[in-house]
Structure 1
Amino acid sequence: MANNTALTPIEVAELLKISKNTVYELIKRGELNSYRVGKKVRVDLDDVEEYKNRTKSNKIKNEDSIENSQMSNPLYYNELPTNQGFVICGQDIILDILSRYLQNHPNGTLALRSYIGSYDGLYSLYHGKVHIATAHLWDGETGQYNIPYVKRLLPGTPAVIINLATRLQGFYVKNGNPKNIKSFEDLKREDITFVNREKGSGTRILLDEYLKKLKIDSSNLKGYNRECFSHLLVASAVVRGSADVGLGNEKNGLQVSGIDFIPLHKERYEMVIKKEDLNKPHYRAVIEIINSEEFKRELEGIGGYDLSELGKVVAET
């Protein structure tokens, strides 16, 4: 069944904006239902939704904000204590794998994960609240990824932008694409209901840039103000029929049964480090890891990424 999509503990952690260890603790305490396939733990998407609804402290009255709930995670917000540890900011599973490698590197450390979006991640890097940020922010005027935003959000702060992967962004629609949605132009149609990502996410900015280029007034796009905090929740909303279409990356959307993916845009997912930090041991370890064959092979095994420029310094600002 579509809503019984099986998730790994890492995917549940990404969905709830918590650590993988917290997911295992919830399972251990019986607060989150799970099951085993051989030696692997799996959790149904329905059970994640049920857990979220059960633990909400306040009911959300606005129907357009149903997916707007966030788990209580101190690393989700911008007010990150500077003494909390080495914080890597971003939402892709690449960073969870990187954190594991960093913990085992001779010059590494235990990395904490902040799951805020690209725009807020750069803002937090500027204010010293995170140590490494990642971004996939497209500038519609220049056609560039990330460079214009790094220059604006880290003013007077020399930084290095390093490529991690190229990914496909596109529309999530139900199997068979019943509304025959093919392009951003279709968002002008009155019979389309959209489901959006949160402000500050790279996906939301990509949408807004296209709406601006196509002169589409967001107030005329039904569902524009309905926000989800992950690609999986966007895809789930489409499968459940509460929206006709949502925007997200290919890899995450196709994890949800009942979704077709319509590719629209290639995006660059990149890491941003302040130049002043480059020669510090933990940062050197990060750069060594992302340039290692072992790390690349593991990402290739996951699939869904173009890794041809992994580790390449694409710009210095």
Structure 2
Amino acid sequence: MKQDNDLRNNLKSIRTRLGMSQQDLANLAGVTRQTISGVESGQYAPSVAITLRLAKALGCQVEDLFWLERDLPEIEAVLAKPVPAGQQTRVSLARVGGQWVAYPLIGKDAFRQDMIPADGETRIDKDKVRVRLLDDNLDTLHNTVVIAGCAPVISLWARATERWHPQLRVQFNFANSMSALQSLCRGEAHIAGTHLYDSKTGEYNTPFVRDVLAGREAVLITLGVWEEGLLVKSGNPMGIKTVSDLVERGATIVNREIGAGSRLLLEQTLQNEQIPFHAVQGFDHIVTSHQDVAQAVALGVVDAGISTASVATAFGLGFIPLHQSRYDLVILKEYLEEAPVQQLLSTLGHPMVHSQLEILGGYDISKIGEVVATV
């Protein structure tokens, strides 16, 4: 036997799952324990005879045990986020603006509730990123639409759409409103979701889109209007009705990161009430999603936080409305003619999507799908 750098195996995984030691398998296959160790470590490539014996001993097919790495294609991609140097990283992939984009599945990005399956694994080659695909079905990757945003309803829309168009895959990358726009500008997403209110002009989203995209043409399509406000414990035991009450009652809050629409709303409301930011206990206590805000209140870690009525309902919390925000989908015009994007947008008028959003509560979808601005 000799080493084969392209040969891969999961001999150890199958052996241990069956509760066998290396010696147990060696006895069944009629080889030495050193042979089993060498094959599992990739130090040796087994002969045809030994390969067949191992498969028989483990009760599986040869293809279940061994494969050639070069059997699966590699593509060149750009990374949406940095990855640790010298470390192979699980990624999901999508074709955006004529290039492959790899989204590292690290930390929270590796999960929604269940762990997200990977499309490939990165390999850093000097300044380039190579991704070894785990499947040779490129159709799925080509039919992937990437949305960056923070609204939990996006995932409902995505799943309903995938039921209607089984060949379509929607990848929802969590990002606050400003980060979503920046991701769109960098070519890492087809669509950005945003709910930013400009108190100076009274406009939703459009001023921020103009500023971030800096001359690139885009359209804004409404997903819905949601109620934003203070999440409090069920029954509102502190009797909080306004942001002023947060200070008067000594309530602690949790806040969102810079760039989040919820944080912007809190800051604007405090400024209107002439309340210094530092007067609110917990103003610098940062979490990074609507769900994190709700969980902090539900667990009693804090007394309040800014989020939406639908999130409050989902967590069984009290809700004090402060503002209605329009949540828009921002799409570069160059992506509008792409078939996967068209399929996704076409479902905004589908009753299945409407029913999923309507039952959430606190969400007005009467103008869903309307083009509200072009920039």
TM over 0.5: yes
Amino acid aligned to 2:299: R
CA distance in 2, matches of 1:308, 1:128: 31
Give the secondary-structure state (helix, strand or coil) at the position aligned to 2:298.
helix
Q: Which residue of 2 aligns with 1:300?
A: 358
Give the secondary-structure state (helix, strand or coil) at the position aligned to 2:364.
coil
Q: Which moved more, 1:195-204 or 1:295-304?
A: 295-304
- 1:155-170 equivalences under 5 Å are 155-170=214-229
99, 111, 129: which one aligns with 2:158: 99
In our comparison, the structure showing a higher alpha carbon Rg is 2
CA distance in 2, matches of 1:21, 1:193: 28
Cα 1:312/1:288, change in 2 over 3 Å: same
Q: Does 2:374 align with 1:316? A: yes
Give the secondary-structure state (helix, strand or coil) at the position aligned to 1:182.
coil
Q: Is the contact made by 1:167 and 1:306 (CA closer than 8 Å) also made in structure 2?
A: yes
CA distance in 2, matches of 1:111, 1:176: 38
CA distance in 2, matches of 1:227, 1:263: 21
CA distance in 2, matches of 1:248, 1:106: 31
CA distance in 2, matches of 1:219, 1:315: 36
Cα 1:309/1:190, change in 2 over 3 Å: same
94, 104, 114: which one aligns with 1:22: 114
- 1:193-272 equivalences under 5 Å are 193-257=252-316, 259-272=317-330
Q: Which residue of 2 aligns with 1:135?
A: 194
1:104-134 C-alpha deviation (Å, 9 max, x unpaired): 5669632222101111000110111111100
Cα 1:262/1:146, change in 2 over 3 Å: same
Give the secondary-structure state (helix, strand or coil) at the position aligned to 2:114.
helix
Cα 1:22/1:242, change in 2 over 3 Å: closer
Unaligned runs of 5+ in 2: 1-107, 123-128, 132-140
1:283 deviates by 1.9
Q: Is the contact made by 1:108 and 1:285 (CA closer than 8 Å) also made in structure 2?
A: no
Question: Where has structure 1 moved over 4 Å in runs of 4 or more?
Answer: 16-21, 104-108
CA distance in 2, matches of 1:21, 1:234: 17
CA distance in 1, matches of 2:194, 2:116: 28
Cα 1:232/1:277, change in 2 over 3 Å: closer
CA distance in 2, matches of 1:159, 1:300: 27
Cα 1:22/1:195, change in 2 over 3 Å: same
Q: Is the contact made by 1:139 and 1:209 (CA closer than 8 Å) also made in structure 2?
A: no
CA distance in 1, matches of 2:183, 2:234: 39
Give the secondary-structure state (helix, strand or coil) at the position aligned to 1:267.
strand
Greater relative contact order structure (CA < 8 Å, 6+ sep): 1
Percent sequence identity is 33
- Choose between structure 1 and 2: higher strand proportion: 2
Give the secondary-structure state (helix, strand or coil) at the position aligned to 1:166.
strand
Q: Which residue of 2 aligns with 1:77?
A: none
CA distance in 1, matches of 2:240, 2:194: 28
Cα 1:298/1:248, change in 2 over 3 Å: closer
RMSD between aligned residues: 2.8
Q: Does 2:279 align with 1:279? A: no
Q: Which residue of 2 aligns with 1:113?
A: 172
1:153 deviates by 1.0
Give the secondary-structure state (helix, strand or coil) at the position aligned to 2:354.
helix
